[in-house]
Amino acid sequence: MPSSPSRNAVKAAIARFVPVPRTPDLVTALDGLLGSGRLPPGQRDVIVELRQCAAELGHEQHIRSDYGEEAAFKTPWELFDAADAHRAMVVAERSVTWARSILGPAAR
């Protein structure tokens, strides 16, 4: 599941404005950025969209897609199907697109 490209896109967007915090919880980091007053006009909506992507492919999803569920003895392949993978890919692509809109031409 493509949670890493989405997470990297979100981190790149955060880094445009503030240092990236050492936390797996990017939603909270984005909430902090939204409340910081550091966003130029027009960027708030983009950060809100990235926050939605981060919430959809959050830390828990990242762990489950990489390692499965230890307590249930399930592999990632048992937890996710092709439809889940497709949804995750769509979210990852959206994340990269939104991040590129913040980072500008250098991100292409």
Alpha-carbon distance values, 58 to 38, 41, 42, 82, 108 (Å): 24, 27, 25, 19, 25
Average model confidence (pLDDT) across the chain: 90
Q: Is the pLDDT of residue 104 over 90?
A: no
pLDDT band at 18 (very low <50, low <70, confident <90, very high): very high
pLDDT (0 to 100) of residue 41: 84
Domain count, the chain: 1
Cβ atoms of 60 and 105 within 8 Å: the answer is no
Domain region containing 66: 3-107
Model's pTM, two decimal places? 0.84
